[in-house]
Amino acid sequence: MRTLLTFLTTAALLLGAPVAHAAPPELPAIPVGVFGWPLGGMPTGAPASGAGTVARRFTPPPTPYGRGHRGADLVAAPGAPVTAAGPGVVVQAGPLAGRGVVSVVHAGALRTTYEPVAAVVAPGAVVARGTVLGTLDAGHAGCPAAACLHWGLRWARDAAPARERYLDPLLLVGLGRTRLWPVVR
């Protein structure tokens, strides 16, 4: 399917057909302004350098179990407040596979994940955008600074975990990579 969509997009561009800047129809609509940066005190736009700089971007895996980078790493100082990117319910808060992880489920079957975090919330807590979830721990693998927040985003098409899909969390703040798709008429 992806090969066919890539072919159609390339053909549309070469033939001069109009191309829309939109996600494929099976992806959720992400409302503008509902989500914000997951680090306390961050601006609404993209930070140019320093705290909040994107150290490593999302790289989708070629297959559901393939290699990739299923999130974005944001540079911050150890102990920085980690905040909920949007309103939702905490479903994980505590150690998971040797590091602190907080996950929040949002409307539209979206789930954001934050690590490594020393949680100050508990599962079941209802949070608003900007609610402090915990503080950033040092030592995230591959981080070029003392600490990086790994911020992930998943979307479940239905209740089956095998149907979850990783997305670029920067889409939540309007900074995800744009993908061109042919206009369907």
| Three-state secondary structure string covering 91-133 | EEEEEECCEEEEEEEEHHHEEEEEECEEECCCCCCEECCCCEE
Q: Which residue has the higher pLDDT, 162 or 180?
A: 162
Contacts of 124 (CB under 8 A, 6+ apart): 89, 90
Contacts of 34 (CB under 8 A, 6+ apart): 86, 87, 129
Mean pLDDT of 37-49: 63
Strand blocks (E) in the chain: 19-21, 54-56, 72-76, 81-83, 88-96, 99-106, 110-115, 117-119, 126-127, 132-136, 147-156, 164-167, 180-182
What is the band of 156 on the pLDDT scale with cuts at 50, 70, 90? confident
Q: What is the pLDDT of residues 113-127, one digit of tens each?
A: 999 999 999 999 999
Rounded distance between C-alpha atoms, residue 57 and residue 97, angstroms: 22
Q: Which residue has the higher pLDDT, 34 or 160?
A: 34
What is the band of 174 on the pLDDT scale with cuts at 50, 70, 90? confident
Domains in the chain: boundaries = 30-175
What is the band of 82 on the pLDDT scale with cuts at 50, 70, 90? very high
Name the most confidently modeled range: 17-26, 92-101, 143-152.
92-101
pLDDT reading at 182 higher than 70: no
Q: Just give the CATH number of 30-175.
A: 2.70.70.10
